[in-house]
Every structure is written in structure tokens, then in C-alpha cells.
Structure 1
Amino acid sequence: MRIVERPVTDAGLAALIDAAFGELVEKYGPEGRSAVHAEARFLVAVVDDLAAGCGAVQPAEGTTGEIKRMYVAPGHRGRGIARSLLKALEGLAAEMGYDRLRLATGFRQPEAIALYESAGYAATAPYGRYVGEPQVFCYAKDLR
């Protein structure tokens, strides 16, 4: 496996994002996509020349970045790809000058919650569009 930066227009990345939203609709029902900042930078985990997982770091506020679009295709789960992507996203965020990362995930995603908590992310108050959304859990981690 290798992790590479790809533009949002990359076909493999676009397919992963579409699959991720398909799963979210199955879990939570139809709802709008949260916006991704134009300055977001995407990483893609590539296995045997196929896009297997993705994630992005985008500006949030001040020296805080936000992780968006973390996803690993079902056929590639259980191999440590999500953990490797998360570590690579943290490295990218540090390169981008962020001291802290935040993210949001849903209560029907226990694997994601377990990953984030085991990687040192702590529950934090909801932010932005997630305020008042009981099905969304927010996390943050200091990078320095």
C-alpha cells in the first residue's frame, strides 16, 4: 500500500467519495453532503493500483484543521489502511501548519469511533453544522 496526494478530480478518489456517501445514506438516511473547503488536500491509499481509501485535511479556524471524507472501501477494511491514512493526514496537517485537528463522525460508525479514540482523539463539543445534532460525535487532537 502507498498513500499519495490526489486532486479532488481524480476518478478513483471520486468513486471512493461516492461509495462513502452511499454507506452514510444506508446508515442515516438521505441528508445533504457537508461542504469541503476549496483548499482541502486529499490523500488516497492505493493498493494494487486501486484507490482503496481516502481522507482530506481542510482549513477550519486559526491553526485548527479538519479531517473530512475518511473512508476505506469494504474489500480493503481490516488491513490497517484507515490507521495509516489517519497518520498520514496528521502529518499532512502538521506540514500545512495546523497545531490541532478536529473531525466529526456518526453514532452508527463504531469502527470509526474506535479508530479515532485509539489514535488519541478526544471527544469535544460539537462545532459548526454539528451543533445540536445528537447523532454526530466530534473529536479533536493536538498535533504538537
Structure 2
Amino acid sequence: MIRTDSEHADFRMLAALLDLDLVIRDGDDHAFYAQFNQIESIKELVIAYQRRLPVACGVIKPFTATAAEVKRMFVRPDYKKQSIAAKVSSELENWAIELGFSLCILETGKKQPEAIALYQKAHYRITASYEQYIGIDNSVCMTKPLIAKP
């Protein structure tokens, strides 16, 4: 696993695969969500590899002075159910703590039940929708307080 930024070619490839998946899942709502998932100028992202193949990614972006937003989580279909997403999520949380954040927030969709299950297993809790997702029926917003490990 590596920490990098949005200029990394492997991230751009994984983000393109994620976008293809989301076009199908989001259907008519895709354009709305896509506006909040731009990949330019991201400074904190993680790429997971297996046998030198980029298989998963995830991003954190500052949302407030104390909250980091988790975005662009993706695992290639052939590598799902191997706990890779949990490892990426954990690495993002550790990085957020290092950067001084005390909370992670995220939005996912009702059409992504595997993502909801992943986050709930990682102790994220469903919360009221925030900012741009208020009133969006498909959105599921979640939060997790971050605690530095001794």
C-alpha cells in the first residue's frame, strides 16, 4: 500500500474504473454525484496493490478543520471480499489522525450495500445528511470519531 496524490497514474486508472461502476449504480443521479467526486488536486490518497497490480484506492479530503471526508473508495471486482477495502479505510483513518483530524465523514449510496456494510463494520454510524447531500434520497451519510492509537 502506498500514500500518494491524485497525479499517480494507478489512481487515475482505478478512479476511471470506479466511475464506470458508479454510472451504472447511480443511473440518472450520476451527474449530481460526479460533481462532488473530482480527482484534481487530491493530496491524500491510498493505493493498495497485490502482486504489483493496483487493486484498490481511497481518498481523504479536508472537510472542516476537524473532519476529513472519505471519498473515492474502490476495490476492483476480482479483489473484493479480501479485506482490502478495510485496510485502505484503516490507512486513511490513520493518515487523517496524523493530519490532526478527529472525525471522518462520508457519503455513499443506498445502491452500494457492500460499502454501507464495510463502513458499519469499521464502526461508522449513519448520521443526518450533510451539506450537498441534504434531501438526497439515495444518500447515506456516516461518521466515525477518530482516536489516536497509543
User: TM-score when scaled to structure 1?
Assistant: 0.93
Which of 51, 72, 75 pairs up with 1:48? Answer: 51
Which of 4, 14, 19 pairs up with 2:17? Answer: 19
What residue is the counterpart of 1:66 in the other structure? 69
Confirm or deny that 1:97 pairs with 2:95: no
Q: Distance in 1 between matches of 2:98 and 2:42?
A: 14
> Which residues of structure 1 form unaligned runs of 5+?
none
> What's the C-alpha RMSD, in Å, of the aligned pairs?
1.4
Q: Distance in 1 between matches of 2:81 and 2:31?
A: 28
Q: Shift of the alpha carbon at 1:111?
A: 0.5
Q: Shift of the alpha carbon at 1:7?
A: 2.2
Q: Shift of the alpha carbon at 1:92?
A: 0.6
User: TM-score when scaled to structure 2?
Assistant: 0.90
- Maintained 8 Å contact 1:64/1:98: yes
Count residues in correspondence. Answer: 142
Q: Secondary structure at the match of 1:112?
A: helix
Structure (1/2) with the larger helix percentage: 2
Aligned amino acid, residue 90 of structure 2:
K
CA deviations 1:26-50 (Å, max 9, x no partner) are: 0112414214573541100011111
Q: Secondary structure at the match of 1:137?
A: strand
The verdict on how the C-alpha distance between 1:80 and 1:69 changes in structure 2, with shifts beyond 3 A counting, is same
> Which residues of structure 2 form unaligned runs of 5+?
none
- Maintained 8 Å contact 1:39/1:59: no
CA deviations 1:57-85 (Å, max 9, x no partner) are: 11001211110100001111111100111
Aligned amino acid, residue 139 of structure 2:
V
Aligned amino acid, residue 63 of structure 2:
A
Structure (1/2) with the larger strand percentage: 1
Q: Distance in 1 between matches of 2:100 and 2:127?
A: 21
